[in-house]
């Protein structure tokens, strides 16, 4: 999300921690985890240390962004790691390329206690362990008429005030879906009409951003007052611009799911199943949400209003989200990238 955009902790510290375990542990089972490496200190305390105590195993990590890590797994023919953290767009690529194995749901009993949308978001493969959303953030001090629809991005009073996510980011391709809806067409069957709508939106766009920190800076400097964004940027934008608000859109926001899968060539699939079940435990999910790591998918999690405000949380909100067909979207990405360059490259 862009995976999940937070302050990264050096992943090497996690590897050193794992490799400095007692000699007796080194002789036991090893679980190799492919993930982003963000929030290392918190995850060590909340997830990794208690899981080691439960499994008596060694944990080793491969870190990096979605594309790089998935490519490494592909080069190794689906091996080299046991469990893989990815955004749903990239996990769909991994599934299409045969890099993951189906999960045995009988070995993950905590699946029964998570939101239905997270249990099997991509069929027989791994669940989602957290849910986010893509919507619109706006500065209510500068945008006098509240934003209530995706179509408001095209409003005349927003000229040179909007920022869109770059097409190669997690949220970027969703701009095409929004534009297609505004044009009343299917984005996969009428790309031309969708990008004609983006062309009409262009006068309102100041800049396309590619990182969350870039977007925060655009709001804090006053360059933009409206942006299509992932929800995890909201708290940092509000810290810089207290009048920033998340728009309540009548069409609903787009869901973004972070998934966890078992690699096809996993050396220890039994331990991989145990780990997935562990991170879905309601107590673990509760603590991760309270400590600002991830939004919970366990339905038993109860958050205070101030804790819930930062997350995609609760049945009402989650059931309102729009899901994306990533098989179709991933197949269309190359053409969309070219069309995007034609609009914004001029």
pLDDT band of residue 22 (cuts 50, 70, 90) is: very low
Q: Is 123 among the domain residues? A: yes
What is the distance between the alpha carbons of residues 5 and 20, in angstroms, rounded to a whole number?
29
Q: Is 273 among the domain residues? A: yes
If you ran DSSP here, which 8-state letter would residue 310 be given? T
Which of helix, strand or coil describes residue 293?
coil
Same domain, 206 and 328: yes
Same domain, 208 and 163: yes
Is 70 exceeded by the pLDDT of residue 19? no
Which of helix, strand or coil describes residue 314?
coil
Q: Rounded to the nearest 10 degrees, what angle do helices 326-344 and 172-183 cross at?
A: 90
pLDDT band of residue 310 (cuts 50, 70, 90) is: confident
What is the distance between the alpha carbons of residues 67 and 166, in angstroms, rounded to a whole number?
16
Please give the pLDDT value at position 97.
97
Please give the pLDDT value at position 13.
42
Residue 236, token pair as written in the block: 């940092």
CB 228 within 8 A of CB 256: no
Which residues constitute the domain of residue 333?
A: 134-254+324-344
Residues of the chain with pLDDT > 90, as a percent, come to: 87
CB 153 within 8 A of CB 201: yes
Same domain, 248 and 263: no
Please give the pLDDT value at position 4.
38
Is 70 exceeded by the pLDDT of residue 16? no
DSSP alpha helix (H) spans, the chain: 11-19, 23-26, 40-43, 49-55, 66-75, 88-96, 116-119, 172-183, 191-201, 212-220, 234-240, 269-279, 282-290, 305-308, 315-319, 326-344
Same domain, 225 and 338: yes
| Residue pLDDT, tens place only, 158-193 | 999 999 999 999 899 999 999 999 999 999 999 999
Is 60 exceeded by the pLDDT of residue 25? no
Q: Is 81 among the domain residues? A: yes
Distances (CA, A) of 39 to 1, 57, 58, 192, 193: 14, 21, 20, 41, 42
Same domain, 299 and 207: no
Q: Is 6 among the domain residues? A: no
Is 70 exceeded by the pLDDT of residue 26? no
What is the distance between the alpha carbons of residues 228 and 199, in angstroms, rounded to a whole number?
16
Same domain, 86 and 61: yes
Same domain, 143 and 238: yes
Q: Is 169 among the domain residues? A: yes
| Residue pLDDT, tens place only, 47-81 | 999 999 999 999 999 999 999 999 999 999 999 99
Is 60 exceeded by the pLDDT of residue 137? yes
Q: Is 287 among the domain residues? A: yes
| Residue pLDDT, tens place only, 188-210 | 999 999 999 999 999 999 999 99
Q: Is 1 among the domain residues? A: no
Same domain, 333 and 186: yes
| Residue pLDDT, tens place only, 74-116 | 999 999 999 999 999 999 999 999 999 999 999 999 999 999 9
Please give the pLDDT value at position 10.
41
- The total of structural domains in the chain comes to 2
Q: Is 183 among the domain residues? A: yes
What does the pLDDT average to over 302-322? Answer: 95
Same domain, 328 and 203: yes
Query: Residue 311: which CATH number?
Result: 3.40.190.10
Same domain, 79 and 168: no
Is 50 exceeded by the pLDDT of residue 285? yes
Same domain, 172 and 290: no
Query: Which residue in this structure is represented by tokens 């921690």?
Result: 17
What is the distance between the alpha carbons of residues 135 and 229, in angstroms, rounded to a whole number?
6
What is the distance between the alpha carbons of residues 30 and 288, in angstroms, rounded to a whole number?
24
Same domain, 72 and 208: no
């Amino acid at each position: 999300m862009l995976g999940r955009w937070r302050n990264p902790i050096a992943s090497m510290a996690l590897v050193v921690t794992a490799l400095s375990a007692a000699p007796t542990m080194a002789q036991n089972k090893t679980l190799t985890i492919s993930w982003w490496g963000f929030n290392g200190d918190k995850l060590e305390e909340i997830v990794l240390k208690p899981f080691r105590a439960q499994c008596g195993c060694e944990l080793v990590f491969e870190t990096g962004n979605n594309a790089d890590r998935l490519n490494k797994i592909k080069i190794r023919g689906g091996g080299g790691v046991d469990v893989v953290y990815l955004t749903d767009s990239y996990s769909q690529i991994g599934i299409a390329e045969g890099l993951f194995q189906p999960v045995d749901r009988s070995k993950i009993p905590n699946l029964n206690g998570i939101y239905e949308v997270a249990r099997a978001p991509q069929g027989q493969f791994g669940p989602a362990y957290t849910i986010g959303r893509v919507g619109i953030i706006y500065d209510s001090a500068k945008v006098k008429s509240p934003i209530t629809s995706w179509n408001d991005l095209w409003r005349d009073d927003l000229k040179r005030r909007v920022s869109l996510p770059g097409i190669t980011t997690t949220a970027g391709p969703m701009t095409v879906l929004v534009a297609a809806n505004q044009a009343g067409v299917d984005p996969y069957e009428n790309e031309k009409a969708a990008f004609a709508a983006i062309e009409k939106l262009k006068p309102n766009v100041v800049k396309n951003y590619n990182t969350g920190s870039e977007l925060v800076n655009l709001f804090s400097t006053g360059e933009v007052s409206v942006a299509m964004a992932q929800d995890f940027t909201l708290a940092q934008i509000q810290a810089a611009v207290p009048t920033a608000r998340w728009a309540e859109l009548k069409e609903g926001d787009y869901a973004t799911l972070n998934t966890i899968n078992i690699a096809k060539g996993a050396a220890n699939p039994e331990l991989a199943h145990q780990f997935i079940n562990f991170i879905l435990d309601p107590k673990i999910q509760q603590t991760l949400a309270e400590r600002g790591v991830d939004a919970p998918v366990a339905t038993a999690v109860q958050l205070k209003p101030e804790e819930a405000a930062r997350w995609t949380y609760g049945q009402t909100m989650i059931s309102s989200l729009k899901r994306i067909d990533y098989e179709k979207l991933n197949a269309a990405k190359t053409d969309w990238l070219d069309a995007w360059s034609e609009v914004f490259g001029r």
